[in-house]
Amino acid sequence: MHTWKRFLILFVVSLLALVLFVCSIAGTPENPNDLSDTSGVPAAYMFATFIMAFGVFSWGVSLVGLLVRRLVSDERANFKKFIIFISSLPLFLTSAFGAFSVAVFSYDSIIGLLGGILFFSVMACLCLTSLPVSKIKRAQV
């Protein structure tokens, strides 16, 4: 993450994606093959719990990376890019796991598909913000 604004936008989008995923799997039976079997926890709930736990960890890593990037001097641009990459990687992987979970458990509901689109948008934003930006130089007349 480069700025606090991007950090907060991605935080809100990923949180909304998680909420939509959790709403789409609400009421999932423990064993879809045998509805009278009510022992255990549905796999979709475990995946949602993993996404929550990994999400908290990845947001912590992203926040620490943003703070460390602010402390590093401007002369060390390559080190700043490395910090951005390493701090964004857990959030990218968490979003990929969320998109996989949506594809497996809630592909048949509109809310689930919206959650998957938001997980993919977080991954796309992380990919696009990690690309180098070339600055246009004005021609001297």
> How does pLDDT run across 56-101, given as a tens digit for each residue?
999 999 999 988 888 887 777 788 888 888 889 999 999 999 999 9
Q: pLDDT confidence of 1, banded at 50, 70, 90?
A: low
List the structure tokens of 23: 């709403």
Residues contacting residue 104 through CB under 8 Å, at least 6 positions apart:
47
The pTM score is: 0.83
- Go through 76-109 and write b for each residue having 16 or more CB atoms within 10 A of its CB, e for each that does not: eeeebeebbeebbbbbbebbebbbebbeebbeee
pLDDT digits (tens, 9 = 90+) for 9-41: 999 999 999 999 999 998 887 777 777 777 778
Q: What are phi and psi of 41, to 5 degrees?
A: -110, 135
The alpha carbon of 42 is separated from its chain's Cα centroid by a whole number of angstroms, namely 23
Over residues 4-10, the mean pLDDT reads 87
